[in-house]
Structure 1
Amino acid sequence: MANGTLWILVGNASRARLFATDAKAEEDWRLVEEFHHDESRARQAELIEQADNPNAGTLHGPPAENEPNGRRELEHDRFARELSVFLDKAHDRRDFDKLVIAAPPGFLGRIRRLLSARVRQRVLLDVDSDYSNVPAKELPNRVPVI
């Protein structure tokens, strides 16, 4: 991508969209990628039925998946990790120069914790709002980028 590329990640714990524009946000937003994590939207009972994951929980105490909403929290963390890994790889390819992240407060905190230091340095702005269901053409009027 060209120098001066601004990426805008808009999402929540189950879906996210990544848009690109020029650093001055003068161009239209172009969809770069869509992400979906269906497990984050599943009911707790459905998640517990799928609990054959040996990596879930801890060695000290009950597995987090057996705690109230524990499996859902694990899935939210997994999705935040997936997004942060994607952003790390994109950073290494120099696909973007600046980043804006718009997500609900809880999920925004998860993403912040998982971003590498080099990606965090590119974050221009965090917006603690859920715009995941807002049509793409309306997002530039809702998400402040400059």
Structure 2
Amino acid sequence: MNKRYIVTANAARARIFAHQAGVVREVETLVHPEGRLHTGDLRTGGKGEADDSATHSPRQSGNDDATMEKHAAFFAKEVADYMRQARTQGKADEFIIAAAPHFLGLLRQKLDKPTQECVIHTLDKDLSGASEEDLAEKFRPPLG
């Protein structure tokens, strides 16, 4: 019987579930809090303390996007590394990935070839908040 992992992810959190015999159980959660913060928060250590000049000037979005992209790419690599290790350690030989559309693209870029070949289904939807029961229902194999 194949060992299947369902990976649900966005730029801030990835949850990994084992999916066997129609039962889904969470085995790991990877968190990347930087993916959730605004760049202004990152520069001030997330406490929201800023010098006066920052509070009076409008936020510049060009830099925010570049920083968020860098964090998302870094986290995508972390998730891809986790998947590669699960494959090489024999914990999983099939993957289903359900991720926020942009993050799914980043994750695909970071997967090595052998792990890519183990991905049997992808869904460009953020299901990182879904319950085990919801995932079991969504990815139940067709009968017959």
Q: Same fold (TM over 0.5)?
A: yes
Partner of 1:88: 84
1:98 correspondence with 2:94: yes
- When residues 143 and 48 of structure 1 are mapped into structure 2, their CA distance, relative to the original with a 3 A threshold, is farther
Partner of 2:15: 17
Q: CA deviation at 1:143?
A: 4.2
Partner of 1:44: 39
d(CA) in 1 for partners of 2:33, 2:64: 19
- TM-score, normalized by length of structure 2? 0.79
Q: CA deviation at 1:135?
A: 2.3
d(CA) in 2 for partners of 1:9, 1:76: 16
Structure showing greater Rg? 2
State the one-letter code of the partner of 1:132: S
Unaligned runs of 5+ in 2: 46-61
Match of residue 35, structure 1, among 17, 26, 30: 30
Give the fraction of aligned pairs with identical amino acids, expressed as a percent: 28
- TM-score, normalized by length of structure 1? 0.78
1:124 correspondence with 2:117: no
State the one-letter code of the partner of 2:4: L
Structure with greater proportional helix content: 2
Aligned positions of 1:46-85 closer than 5 A: 46-49=41-44, 67-85=63-81
Unaligned runs of 5+ in 1: 51-65
State the one-letter code of the partner of 2:29: E
Q: CA deviation at 1:142?
A: 3.0
Q: CA deviation at 1:117?
A: 0.1
Whether contact under 8 Å (2:22, 2:136) holds in the other structure is: no
1:107 correspondence with 2:106: no
- When residues 40 and 135 of structure 1 are mapped into structure 2, their CA distance, relative to the original with a 3 A threshold, is same
Match of residue 133, structure 2, among 130, 137, 142: 137
Deviation sequence 1:112-144 (CA, Å, 0-9, x none)? 000000100100011011111222222222346
For these two proteins, the number of residue pairs brought into alignment is: 126
